[in-house]
Amino acid sequence: MTQSLLLLPGDGIGPEVTAVAKRVAGRLIAGGLDLAVAEGPFGGASIDAHGVPLTDETLARAKAADAVLMGAVGGPQWAGQPYDKRPEAGLLGLRAGMNVYANLRPARCFAALADASSLKRIHVEGLDILFVRELTGGVYFGTPRGVETLPDGSRRGVNTHVYTSAEIIRVTRVAFDLARGRTGAVCSAEKGNVMEAGLMWREEVQALRDAEYPDIKLSHMLADNMAMQLVKNPKQFDVILTDNLFGDILSDEAAMLTGSLGMLPSAAIGDAGTPGLYEPIHGSAPDIAGRGVANPCASVLSLAMALRYSLGRPDLAAGLEKAVEKALDAGARTPDLGGALTTAAMGDAILAHL
């Protein structure tokens, strides 16, 4: 049966890097993969064309696809808008609408790039951390939220960090299941020393481990300590489980350990049988957009994650990851990696090893 991939190139360098992933998908299709690729408007591009960052039609098409590959959203031209009219609101709406509550963010250091890290090679060579970040709850979505003006003219801003036990348990399950295919070690981050909801997070994670996953080596760490440990000794971590906000922050920190934000893919998945949302971790990078120099590796590696988690082709995923690694080993580098290849030429290098 033909599977479907919806591309949402979005803004900034999004269309440039997604074009490379599209070429790679075309190659796999030519090689026999039964996949139909379509495209839709999203983010700032959708605001310009349709007035909103995520149209009902795009959301419906995303939910009907087998996998969605996004490029990037955002840019200075939309920054002054109210929150619900910003490109980022489209992304949050897409995550919530698709109910992709578990965000997998691998921070893997490619051997060829170990010297690009801000840490010494010994700390990052062989680094292989998998973040499992809760993606559809917490302070990103909690209510009440907003800013009010008080009678005395001063203002009061509110956002609410809120989780139910069901939300914690389902994302923890994803982390534990993935850990079983790795070393079995999971470290969960929260601020249970100051937040009731943080302590509850810890208790729910521990209770699921005790009830159903006795083989999982579970540890807990305060999020601030984890921020420190990630730069002190990152290789102590295997799977890291976090809420939405801590995961946003700590995964950016871990990404930098690997040398380039331009290398890292991500997957957002929900219940079995529902489509996943795949996207590079890097943003729209307005400073280099339109120049054809963006690194397409994260987009290509996100396509690999789609093949693994949504399209049932872990074999093709591994082949694609190998092709990226071989291209790097052979010296292929975009400017962010210290080289001079264009986005398209980096795509050529990857395709040459596929």
Catalytic residues: 140, 191, 224, 248, 252
Least distance (Å) between residue 218 CB and Mg ion: 25
Stretch that binds Mg ion, among 19-27, 143-151, 170-178, 240-248 (CB under 5 A): 240-248
248 touches ligand IPM by CB under 6 A? yes
Does residue 76 contact residue 11 with C-beta atoms inside 8 Å? no
Q: Interaction with ligand IPM in 104-143: which residues (CB under 6 A)? A: none
Structure-token pair, residue 92: 């949050």
- Residues 29-68: x where in contact with ligand IPM by CB under 6 A, - otherwise, as a string: ----------------------------------------
204 touches ligand IPM by CB under 6 A? no
Q: Which CB sits closer to ligand IPM, 73 or 297?
A: 73
Question: Cα 91–342–249 angle (5° rounding)?
Answer: 35
What stretches of the chain show up as alpha helix (H) in DSSP? 14-30, 44-50, 56-64, 87-98, 121-124, 165-180, 196-212, 223-232, 244-257, 297-309, 314-329, 343-352
Task: Please choose, from the candidates 220, 269, 8, 246, the residue with its C-alpha nearest in 3D space to the C-alpha of residue 140.
Answer: 246
Single residue of 19, 24, 70, 91 touching ligand IPM by CB under 6 A: 91
Does residue 293 contact residue 334 with C-beta atoms inside 8 Å? yes
Single residue of 16, 66, 248, 325 touching Mg ion by CB under 5 A: 248
Q: Which CB sits closer to ligand IPM, 68 or 91?
A: 91
Q: Which CB sits closer to ligand IPM, 91 or 328?
A: 91
* Residue 321 near which of ligand IPM, Mg ion, none (CB within 5-8 Å, type-dependent): none
Rounded Cα distance between 133 and 135, Å, is 6
Does residue 112 contact residue 328 with C-beta atoms inside 8 Å? yes
Rounded Cα distance between 176 and 185, Å, is 9
Rounded Cα distance between 177 and 310, Å, is 16
Rounded Cα distance between 11 and 73, Å, is 5
Q: Which CB sits closer to Mg ion, 167 or 279?
A: 279
Least distance (Å) between residue 127 CB and ligand IPM: 19
243 touches Mg ion by CB under 5 A? no
Q: Which CB sits closer to ligand IPM, 89 or 109?
A: 89
Least distance (Å) between residue 12 CB and ligand IPM: 11
Residues that bind ligand IPM in the complex, under the rule CB under 6 A: 88, 91, 248
